[in-house]
């Protein structure tokens, strides 16, 4: 669903990024190399509604692209009533979207206060939802192991997996209501 069609009600949305190892030809592999993973990867961003656990949007980029840059290039318009919950890879999100929360970082000279630690804990408790959804996505072996297919089709396959998971969630809620 495009972001322009979202209702303007207050809603919590969680951002996450997951990486998949990819096999490539040597001529075109430099932009897909992730120094952190020491492999050629595809980075996939997932946007999930915290309350309904519905996967709303996916986007992808090369593995060397930073999380925040992927966010800036893919998500154009976000309804301001939505609360974005992101991890520390999205530092600077507050400049683009005022209604967002990211964890506090400590430094050597400025340790975290007790209040900041408790806020980080509550944010991480809400983060569990997206981590569980990432685990469900990785039950599909095509996304958890080395991806050997065409790079162009990776986002299509990711969207299909997310549609299957959304469908399973809907069927489970219908089944619970009938029982």
In this prediction, residue 30 carries a pLDDT of: 65
Q: How far is the C-alpha of 175 from the C-alpha of 48, rounded, in Å?
A: 22
Q: How far is the C-alpha of 37 from the C-alpha of 28, rounded, in Å?
A: 18
Measured torsion, CA atoms of residues 41, 160, 131, 7, in degrees rounded to the nearest 10? 120
**Domains of the chain by residue range:** 9-178
In this prediction, residue 111 carries a pLDDT of: 93
Confidence (pTM): 0.74
Tens-level pLDDT at each residue, the chain (179 residues): 444 444 444 566 666 666 666 655 556 666 666 666 666 778 888 888 888 888 888 888 887 788 888 888 877 666 677 888 888 888 888 888 888 888 998 888 999 999 999 999 998 888 888 888 888 988 888 777 777 777 788 888 888 999 999 999 988 888 888 87
- Contact indicator for 84, 15 with CB cutoff of 8 Å: yes
**For helices 114-137 and 154-178, angle between their N-to-C axes, nearest 10 degrees:** 100
In this prediction, residue 15 carries a pLDDT of: 61
In this prediction, residue 142 carries a pLDDT of: 79
Bridge-based pairing of strands 11-21 and 39-49 is antiparallel
In this prediction, residue 164 carries a pLDDT of: 92
For the domain 9-178, what is the CATH code? Answer: 3.30.420
Beta strand ranges found along the chain (DSSP E): 11-21, 33-34, 39-49, 55-62, 82-85, 100-101
């Amino acid at each position: 669903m495009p972001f322009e069609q979202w209702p303007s009600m207050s809603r919590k949305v969680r951002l996450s990024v997951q990486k998949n190892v990819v096999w490539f030809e040597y001529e075109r592999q430099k932009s897909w190399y992730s120094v952190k993973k020491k492999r050629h990867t595809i980075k996939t961003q997932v946007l999930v509604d915290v309350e309904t656990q519905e996967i709303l949007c996916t986007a992808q980029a090369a593995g060397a692209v930073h999380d925040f840059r992927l966010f800036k290039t893919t998500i154009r318009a976000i309804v301001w009533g939505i609360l974005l919950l992101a991890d520390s890879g999205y530092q600077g999100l507050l400049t683009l979207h005022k209604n967002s929360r990211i964890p506090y970082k400590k430094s050597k000279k400025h340790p975290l206060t007790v209040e900041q630690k408790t806020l980080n804990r509550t944010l991480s408790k809400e983060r569990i939802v997206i981590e569980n959804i990432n685990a469900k996505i990785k039950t599909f072996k095509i996304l958890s192991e080395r991806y050997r297919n065409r790079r162009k089709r990776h986002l299509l396959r990711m969207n299909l997996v997310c549609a299957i998971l959304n469908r399973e969630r809907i069927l489970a809620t219908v089944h619970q209501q009938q029982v």
